[in-house]
């Protein structure tokens, strides 16, 4: 029952549509009606600008972090934080509060990692920013960062982390199927706000 309780809370946390809330409250805009139509941070950056994008990114990261910390907050040390965090990612991608159409799992996945391994999180952020600077593709940076996270997890010899980073990376790549096609066809939009 404890697992079920935390899974439900994590899913509901992940389901909070940060991009929709920031767009409607701060900009009177439903970002689902603009850009890619996605509720994630990337579309927020594209539609509402850098400030809104940063706010949504932080909000989406925190959903994953708080979810991963739930076992500690409820003093349930026998429950695996990474597993609970995964349900926040599922909530972010398929949010009950936004007709099950959410983001692409990137920021919330990173938040889950932050909740259990801050060093890996820092490595992921640096990797993402470096790849983004070099390629200007958010989607490609997200996918390659996931692969780097798997490699670091293997180096750290953390079996649980290897399994979860692998699952999350597969999920992120799956969510970026359309982006992969556009990258191959050279029609994927590049960011314009980074030098």
pLDDT of amino acid 64: 97
Residue whose structure tokens are 């990258």: 183
Domain assignment present for residue 165? The answer is yes
193 has a pLDDT exceeding 80: no
* Half-sphere exposure of residue 125: CA atoms within 13 angstroms, side-chain side: 14
Structure tokens that stand for 59 in this block: 């909000």
Distance CA 38, CA 184 (A): 21
Residue 176 has pLDDT above 90, yes or no: yes
193 within a domain of the structure (yes/no): no
| Residue 191 forms part of a structural domain | no
Count of domains observed in the chain? 1
Report the range of poorest mean pLDDT among 72-76, 111-115, 149-153.
72-76
Distance set, CA 40 to CA 46, 135, 179 (Å): 10, 20, 14
Helix (H, G, I), strand (E, B) or coil at 40: coil
Tallying the residues shown for the chain, one arrives at 195
pLDDT band for 192, please (50, 70, 90 cuts): confident
Q: Are 108 and 65 in contact (CB under 8 A)?
A: no
Domain that holds residue 99: 2-184
Whether residue 140 lies inside any domain: the answer is: yes
CA dihedral 138, 148, 135, 35 (to 10 degrees): -10
58 assigned to some structural domain: yes
pTM of the model: 0.92
pLDDT of residue 195: 60
Q: Domain for residue 15, yes or no?
A: yes
Q: Indicate the average pLDDT of the chain.
A: 92
What pLDDT band is residue 178 in, cutting at 50, 70 and 90? very high
Q: Is the pLDDT of residue 55 over 90?
A: yes
* pLDDT band of 87, cuts 50, 70, 90: very high
Q: Tell me what the mean pLDDT of segment 151-159 comes to.
A: 95
9 found inside a domain:
yes
Q: Could you read off the pLDDT of 98-147 as tens digits, one per residue?
A: 889 888 899 999 999 999 999 999 999 999 999 999 999 999 999 999 99
In this structure, is residue 36 part of a structural domain?
yes
């Amino acid at each position: 029952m404890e697992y079920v309780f935390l899974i439900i809370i994590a899913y509901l946390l992940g389901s909070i549509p940060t991009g929709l809330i920031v767009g409607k409250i701060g900009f009177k805009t439903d970002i689902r009606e603009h850009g890619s139509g996605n509720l994630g941070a990337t579309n927020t950056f594209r539609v509402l600008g850098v400030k809104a994008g940063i706010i949504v990114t932080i909000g989406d990261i925190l959903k994953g972090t708080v979810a991963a910390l739930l076992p500690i907050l409820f003093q349930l040390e026998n429950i695996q934080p990474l597993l609970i965090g995964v349900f926040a990612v599922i909530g972010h991608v398929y949010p009950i509060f936004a007709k099950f159409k959410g983001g692409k799992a990137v920021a919330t996945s990173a938040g889950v990692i932050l909740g259990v391994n801050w060093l890996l999180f820092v490595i992921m952020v640096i990797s993402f920013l470096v790849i983004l600077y070099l390629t200007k593709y958010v989607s490609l940076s997200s996918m390659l960062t996931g692969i780097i996270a798997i490699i670091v997890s293997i180096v750290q010899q953390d079996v649980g982390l290897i399994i979860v980073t692998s699952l999350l990376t597969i999920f992120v790549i799956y969510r970026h199927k359309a982006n992969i096609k556009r990258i191959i066809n050279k029609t994927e939009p590049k960011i314009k706000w980074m030098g």
